[in-house]
Chain A
Amino acid sequence: MAFTLYLLLQAALLCVNTITVLHEERFLKNIGWGADQGIGGFGEEPGIKSQLMNLIRSVRTVMRVPLIIINSIAIVLLLLFG
């Protein structure tokens, strides 16, 4: 079991890295998940797909710089302490 908080932090960092790494032009546009492809007018409910696309774009915008810092710290710590 041993599902510790540290493991959760590591998993969260990896997940956020994954979301941030999805490239807008090379990948998301090709599968129809680009940020400007989802506007379905002013309907009442955005729907799950457009919420997901919004989420990916927001995470990418917000977490780009903090992730550089956090990843560097994680790399240094893992190199030092394994």
Chain B
Amino acid sequence: MHPAGLAAAGTPRQPSKRRTPVSQPGMADPHQLFDDTSSAQSRGYGAQRAPSGLGYPAPSASPQAAFLADPVSNMAMAYGSSLAAQGKELVDKNIDRFVPVTKLKYYFAVDTMYVGKKLGLLFFPYLHQDWEVQYQQDTPVAPRFDINAPDLYIPAMAFITYVLVAGLALGTQDRFSPDLLGLQASSALAWLTLEVLAILLSLYLVTVNTDLTTIDLVAFLGYKYVGMIGGVLMGLLFGKIGYYLVLGWCCVSIFVFMIRTLRLKILAEAAAEGVPVRGARNQLRMYLTMAVAAAQPLLMYWLTFHLVR
């Protein structure tokens, strides 16, 4: 009944095969789902396949050639490709308005040595002396040349690794299902967004004149995923004791890291001399820095404790 249904439905479609879309997953055989449906070739190919059912090799040659030789479809293809080229130009010109692509490129200018040293700094920030970002004629130096510069490579990779490790942890406890991965990812992303918005709001309220951009903030807040991954992996290997130990270590490290980094950005004047200056304004800024740094361990625990049993 299946081929008969295909044949019956296919024959009236044949004269109008040029305008028929190919997406008929219920009726066609499974091979058709993996064909490239964007080219004109497979459009004729796919429409031809439906009436012939399973006999795809031989009869597809002639309707294909006839389809391409038709001048109207030639013009349509040329027009379509020129439209696509125009659209691509438009997007390329305007993308910089919505997504700061050129600025983003700076954050991904990393190399292996930088990543290695930065990871070491995230786990052991106690011996590092100079936390200032070096400048080169008014623009900050690329992360490749300065270990103190924020980057987006480590946070992005750490986020993806966190989602995968969460899936692994859930799998070892027989609690895994594929949609849980998406749930973990969107949950972590939602917490990140909430954090960024809360910090931006508090920075606005405290009127801090800082050069801390939003992307910088996302980068700094993304560094905690590295500690979270370490904690969960240790928890998988050594149980709850290992998890708490490593997570505690990473929490303290991230706390110190954030304080030392944000102090230079938020408390710019006071931190330069290294003197704890009194005054309501600086005190408020200090509280803000401490609050941001203290939120990191809390979130690290909150996002991982349900993964380790």
State the Cβ distance, B285 to closest chain A Cβ, in Å: 11
Given the contacts A1-B306, A8-B193, A8-B194, A46 and B207 also touching, CB distance less than 8 Å: yes
User: What per-residue 1/0 map shows which CB atoms of B163-183 lie under 8 Å from chain A?
Assistant: 000000000000000000001
Residue numbers in A under 8 Å from B204 (CB-CB): 51, 55
A36 at the interface (CB under 8 A from B): no
> B205 near A5 (CB under 8 angstroms)?
no
A52 at the interface (CB under 8 A from B): yes
CB proximity to A under 8 Å, residues B191-249: 191, 193-194, 197, 204-207
> A5 near B193 (CB under 8 angstroms)?
yes
Residue numbers in B under 8 Å from A51 (CB-CB): 204-205, 207
State the Cβ distance, A19 to closest chain B Cβ, in Å: 11
**Interface bin, chain B:** 10 to 19
Interface centre among A1, A3, A48 (most CB of B within 10 A): A3
State the Cβ distance, B282 to closest chain A Cβ, in Å: 11
Chain A residue at minimal CB-CB distance from B182? A4
Question: A4's contact among B183, B197, B205, B306, by CB below 8 Å, is which?
Answer: B183
State the Cβ distance, A39 to closest chain B Cβ, in Å: 15
A25 at the interface (CB under 8 A from B): no
B190 at the interface (CB under 8 A from A): yes
> A3 near B187 (CB under 8 angstroms)?
yes
> A45 near B207 (CB under 8 angstroms)?
yes
> A3 near B190 (CB under 8 angstroms)?
yes
Residue numbers in A under 8 Å from B117 (CB-CB): none
Number of residue pairs spanning A and B whose beta carbons lie under 8 angstroms apart: 32
Residue numbers in A under 8 Å from B284 (CB-CB): 48
> B190 near A4 (CB under 8 angstroms)?
yes
> A4 near B206 (CB under 8 angstroms)?
no
Question: A1's contact among B187, B205, B206, B281, by CB below 8 Å, is which?
Answer: B187
B186 at the interface (CB under 8 A from A): yes
Query: Whole-angstrom distance between the alpha carbons of A12 and B306 in the complex?
Result: 26
State the Cβ distance, A62 to closest chain B Cβ, in Å: 14
A69 at the interface (CB under 8 A from B): no
Given the contacts A1-B306, A8-B193, A45 and B183 also touching, CB distance less than 8 Å: no
Residue numbers in B under 8 Å from A46 (CB-CB): 207
> B194 near A2 (CB under 8 angstroms)?
no
A31 at the interface (CB under 8 A from B): no
Query: Whole-angstrom distance between the alpha carbons of A40 and B197 in the complex?
Result: 28
CB proximity to B under 8 Å, residues A5-32: 5, 7-8, 12
State the Cβ distance, B183 to closest chain A Cβ, in Å: 6
Query: Whole-angstrom distance between the alpha carbons of A4 and B190 in the complex?
Result: 6
Query: Whole-angstrom distance between the alpha carbons of A12 and B183 in the complex?
Result: 19
B65 at the interface (CB under 8 A from A): no
User: What per-residue 1/0 map shows which CB atoms of A45-67 lie under 8 Å from chain B?
Assistant: 11010011001000000000000
Query: Whole-angstrom distance between the alpha carbons of A4 and B189 in the complex?
Result: 8
Question: A48's contact among B183, B193, B197, B205, by CB below 8 Å, is which?
Answer: B205
State the Cβ distance, A43 to closest chain B Cβ, in Å: 11
Footprint of B on A, CB under 8 Å? Answer: 1-5, 7-8, 12, 45-46, 48, 51-52, 55
Ranked 9 nearest A-B pairs via Cβ: A8-B190, A3-B187, A4-B186, A51-B205, A5-B190, A3-B190, A5-B186, A48-B205, A45-B207
Footprint of A on B, CB under 8 Å? Answer: 183, 186-187, 189-191, 193-194, 197, 204-207, 281, 284, 306
8 A-B pairs whose Cβ atoms sit less than 8 Å apart in the complex = A3-B190, A4-B186, A5-B189, A5-B190, A5-B193, A7-B190, A48-B205, A51-B207
Given A2-B187, A51-B205, output 7 extra A-B contacts at Cβ < 8 Å.
A4-B186, A5-B186, A7-B190, A45-B281, A48-B205, A51-B204, A51-B207
